[in-house]
Amino acid sequence: MTETGADILKAAKLLSAGQLVAIPTETVYGLAANALDADAVVQIFAVKERPAFDPLIVHLKSLESMYDYASEIPATAIALASAFWPGPLTLVLPKKSIIPDLVSSGLSTVGLRVPSHPLTLALLQQLPFPLAAPSANPFGYISPTTPQHVHDQLQGKIPYILDGGPCSVGWNPR
């Protein structure tokens, strides 16, 4: 059974234990796992039925944390991140070896972003690791923008949905 709530500490505890949690961003709900734990990340692919050749975006707590996961950061990337983070901008940069190949689908680059949803930013501040988090829906389905969408599509496959209300930028069918 999947529980829905706004308990950041519960979400942090589950993620730290290698479990999956649905998290809100400004665009869609993401299916999150510890981005540095390949065993946790493999669960994302299984729950979503996502092909392993499709890389995942890594959600960071701050612009400064980008230096922990990207091996090269051009001035243009810093300027873009400074202007648009937190927010719906993903930068694709050469990755450091700390990022498992499964996250990047074997590519030498990784997508990094800092989401602007306050609940997810607060969660990221509680964690000593970033979160790999593609949309929280089965592969090929419409991306969820409310906790109810996640519940309807993934009920019973994940332990917790961090309820941050409807996403502010993503498409919300009424």
Asked if residue 172 belongs to a domain, the reply is no
Asked if residue 171 belongs to a domain, the reply is no
CATH of the domain at 84: 3.90.870.10
Asked if residue 103 belongs to a domain, the reply is yes
Alpha-carbon distance 117 to 79, whole Å? 21
Provide the domain limits for residue 16. Answer: 3-162
Angle CA(27)–CA(33)–CA(38) in degrees, nearest 5?
A: 135
Alpha-carbon distance 123 to 38, whole Å? 20
Asked if residue 169 belongs to a domain, the reply is no
Alpha-carbon distance 76 to 115, whole Å? 19
Asked if residue 168 belongs to a domain, the reply is no
* E strand map for 42-159: 57-59, 91-94, 109-113, 131-132
**91-110 pLDDT per residue, tens:** 999 999 999 999 999 999 99
Please tell me whether the overall predicted TM-score, pTM, comes out greater than 0.85 for this model. Answer: yes
User: What is the number of structural domains in the chain?
Assistant: 1
For residue 125, what pLDDT is reported? 97
**129-172 pLDDT per residue, tens:** 999 999 999 998 989 999 999 999 998 999 999 999 999 876 55
Question: And the tokens for 153?
Answer: 């599509």
Asked if residue 67 belongs to a domain, the reply is yes
Asked if residue 174 belongs to a domain, the reply is no
Asked if residue 7 belongs to a domain, the reply is yes
